[in-house]
Amino acid sequence: MSPSQPFCIVAADFIKTGGMDRANHALAMDLVARGHEVHLVSHRVSEDLLAMPNVVFHRVPRPFNAQLLGGPLLDRAGRRVAKKILKRSGRVIVNGGNCLVGDVNWVHYLHAAHAPQVGGSVLSRVRWWFQHRMYLREERRALQRAKLVITNSNLTRTGVLNTLGLDPDKVRTVHLGLDTDTFRPATVQEKQNARRSVGWRVDQPVVAFIGALGNRRKGFDTLFDAWTRLHEAGNWDARLIVIGSGAELSTWQDQVTRRGMRDVDFLGHRSDVPDLLRRCDALVAPTRYEAYGLGIAEAVCTGLTTIVSRDAGVAELCPTDAGARLLLDDPNDVNELVNRLRAWQADPEGYRSAANQWARALRLRTWSVMAEQIVQVIQQTAPAPVGAQVGAHRSPAGVSAISDSRGGAEPVSSAAPVS
């Protein structure tokens, strides 16, 4: 693959937070480092990418910060830029159903694999149902059109094959990478200082949960029931911090208040997750569907004992011996989780050793390793003719507001514009 070959990546955001956003950012940075001209069709791009000389940012508006409004605009802009890139023998990478271009589709989350139980008001549930149906339709169309589908786990690959009936030869798995410099274990002194800085007891075990609280996919309800039993049974001196927000946040807060559970703290959405994790001892993730689980991998590599559902995509990289302690067979089984937490309480060193074994396996997968594998897979697949790759616009009539930009009023790239 010659460095002169241009790339276009269509994604909502290229930033360093969030699993999908972080992965897209890492791939873009690697392609830039290889000398490729990289076109980013997106709502947001981080400053470090904008500063690169061979990046062209095609800015797409996201009205009222609403994905439902911004999605069609992203699709429209992506198709327009993709046509020009493909005519130059370049490659185009889209994510799931976000843009109907049939070259490379990198699947981070498969909507067809799971329909979570959604909380909140009736209006919220109706809105979710409408969006879910729309995502299913767009996902199916985009994946069926793709020349190559790259999935972030074998779980996602199996879901794609089972729900969409694609040719197995065109669906390849590349597990996500990791920022091993940012997500590293804290020293004993660092952890103690971090806890003192926020008023936490140095000697109290701290368990973290990370995930949106708008539906039950992440399994917080299972964890809450298990924590309630441990709290009521006594002889349980641990603190639970919940990182995330959503429609059910107030409901869970009310239940904690009614039960007098002073050992549960809801921190809401946070941008300092690496620092928070360094204050913790364990992470619990009884997730019902996790296409990969970058946050789980990050917690493991931060030195946390991480108890997670066996079916999570990231669990595929967990050594068998470590999995016997760390992996849950049933995310709905409260008793299993209670017993696992009790076992961790009784043998923290044994569980820490298992987590370290998993961390060693994960640390082999840097973002550069992931990007190298994605490039190799793309090299092995020739693009389809331009006319067969780009579908008709799905944007609502009259919606066409889109501008190409290299950072707004000031240019941020010296790469040649698409023409």
- pLDDT digit string (tens) for 392-419? 655 443 333 333 333 332 223 434 334 3
188-362 CATH pick, 3.40.50.2000, 3.20.20.450, 2.40.50.100, 3.40.50.720 = 3.40.50.2000
CATH topology of domain 7-177+366-389: Rossmann fold (3.40.50)
Residue 400: predicted pLDDT? 32
Q: What residues does each domain of the chain span?
A: 7-177+366-389, 188-362
Neighbour-count burial of 5, counting CB atoms closer than 10 A to its CB (0-12 exposed, 13-18 middle, 19+ buried): middle
pLDDT of residue 403: 35
N-term to C-term CA, the chain: 22
The closest of 34, 27, 35, 30 to 10, measured between CA atoms, is: 27
7-177+366-389 against 188-362: fold identical: yes
CA 251 to chain centre: 25
| E strands in 212-342 | 239-243, 264-268, 282-285, 305-309, 327-328
DSSP per residue, 106-121: EES--GGG--PPB-S-
- pLDDT at residue 10, as a whole number: 98
The CA-based angle 275-22-128, given to 5 degrees, is 100
pLDDT of residue 67: 85
CB atoms < 10 A from the CB of 384, how many?
A: 16
pLDDT confidence of residue 4: 78
- Please name which of 308, 198, 307, 214 lies closest in space to residue 252, comparing C-alpha atoms: 214
Cα(204)–Cα(206) distance, rounded to whole angstroms?
6
Question: Which element (helix H / strand E) includes 192?
Answer: helix 188-197
pTM higher than 0.85 for the full model? yes
Residues of the chain with pLDDT under 50: 395-419
Task: Return the closest-CA partner of residue 147 out of 379, 412, 402, 414.
Answer: 379
Q: Are 212 and 246 in contact (CB under 8 A)?
A: yes
